Structure 1
Amino acid sequence: MTKTELQVMSQGEAAYHRLYEAIRSGDFRPGDRLREIEVAKRLDLSRTPVREALRKLESDGIVEHRPRLGAVIRTLTPSEVVELYEMRLVLERTAAQMAAKHANDAEIDLLNDLNDQIAALGDDTQQAAALNQDFHHRIYLASRNRFLLASARGLNNALMLLGPTTLDDETRIKTVSAQHARIIEAIRAGDQTAAGDAAEAHLQTSLRHRLKGLDR
């Protein structure tokens, strides 16, 4: 492989990661058309690595090619949203149960701190969404199961396609933080059944809120 090829590969990989993060953070949303020249300008990149990044995102199932439109970020159907939440429910219930068995005091205190930050945000939905992702990731880490964590990572691409966060107002943020508190309480008590039940109730509420949003 030549030096030039290595440089192009490096630029393509960098473009992929920057575009991936832009989609994950909501700068680009499901249904958005990704024109090479516009993406390149917005991310301050040249078109060749952007083209490579789009191909990789298509292979990841994040982007699809539509006739007369080109590259478009995939939009999940309502049935796909339900299927995704069903899978999340299985994984997150298990993660909460295992965290109740394995989490140490420092990990539980961190969960509590993250949740306090979420509760204090008011209507800052973007920051609440970021902290919410961290909160759930920390539960997976506390489960002490690398295979469970790998399975959760496998859902990341699909989760990006859900679109805007369901933490869309102060009331919703308060509901989520209250549900988080019940999960934390069960984990701290070492009650695996209660932790799993609390995690499942939390995901069911989130799914109902998500489906209401799709109907608007």
Structure 2
Amino acid sequence: MKEPRPAQKDAYALILEAIDSGIYNPGDRLVESELAERFGVSRTPVREALQRLETQGLLTRDGRSLIVSSLDHNALAELYVVRAELEGLAAALAARHATREEVRVLREFVEEDRKLMGDPRALARANRRFHRQIHLASHNRFLMQQLEMVHRSMALLATTSFAVEGRDAEGLNEHARIVEAIAAGDAAAAEAALKEHISKAFETRLKLDASAAAAE
């Protein structure tokens, strides 16, 4: 009996995760041969992954090179408008369809994440986990597909809003209010709470960008 082959590494997922985790930042050049060596895959799937990421707008061509795209002010504003609407809808649907178990998991995430205060990168990862759990609790696969596209673009943000002093406690309190609205089955309140959360995050990011520009 033949031994099962090890699962093939997904070059697209590996590169996307590297961008999302800050290994590659906006403006960084991605070289096919270097990526293949880093991730232990052949150059063909890397080439296909780079083409896919370019098509999705996550990479930009600079001459013959591909670099990680940057979001200017207008693109950032557009992204947050779409994110607020889609995330708000997910919260409203979660308030209608979330199981008791899903609500308990959301509550547990909020409490667990409070232990991460002071660690912006860890909180950013926990934040993605929390939002994805709401997406799952919406029980709408088509909405989840759209939210995945939005969150891929969020990977282009080099810094996290949790890096701003006081944003961690504020953000987690907002998470708690979202969860309680979902638990109460109040779709309107859940949608409003999540939209307000996204608005606060956008406002914080604008301040971050302004501070970074002033320091240049």
* Residue number among 43, 56, 60 corresponding to 2:56 in the alignment: 60
* Residue number among 127, 146, 154 corresponding to 2:149 in the alignment: 154
How far apart are 1:197 and its partner, in Å?
A: 1.1
Query: 8 Å contact 1:33–1:73 — kept in the other structure?
Result: yes
Query: 8 Å contact 1:123–1:169 — kept in the other structure?
Result: no
1:75 is paired with a residue whose SS is coil
* Residue number among 81, 85, 93 corresponding to 1:90 in the alignment: 85
How far apart are 1:156 and its partner, in Å?
A: 2.9
How far apart are 1:74 and its partner, in Å?
A: 0.3
Cα distance in 1 for residues equivalent to 2:10 and 2:90: 32
State, as a whole percentage, how many aligned pairs show the same letter. 40
Aligned to 1:180: 175
How far apart are 1:22 and its partner, in Å?
A: 0.9
Alpha-carbon distance change, 116 to 14 in structure 1, aligned in 2, over 3 angstroms: same
Aligned to 2:124: 129
Query: 8 Å contact 1:81–1:162 — kept in the other structure?
Result: no
Unaligned runs of 5+ in 2: 1-6
2:124 maps to a residue whose letter is A
1:130 maps to a residue whose letter is R
Unaligned runs of 5+ in 1: 1-9
Query: 8 Å contact 2:164–2:204 — kept in the other structure?
Result: no
2:166 is paired with a residue whose SS is helix
- TM normalised by structure 1 equals 0.86
Cα distance in 1 for residues equivalent to 2:45 and 2:184: 50
Alpha-carbon distance change, 52 to 96 in structure 1, aligned in 2, over 3 angstroms: closer
Aligned to 1:117: 112
1:25 maps to a residue whose letter is S
How far apart are 1:45 and its partner, in Å?
A: 4.7
Cα distance in 1 for residues equivalent to 2:181 and 2:50: 43
Moved more, 104-113 or 40-49: 40-49
2:162 is paired with a residue whose SS is coil
Q: Deviations over 1:43-87 (max 9, x none)?
A: 34555544443223212211111127x111000111110100000
Runs (4+) of structure 1 exceeding 6 A deviation are: none
1:184 is paired with a residue whose SS is helix
Q: Does 1:138 align with 2:133?
A: yes
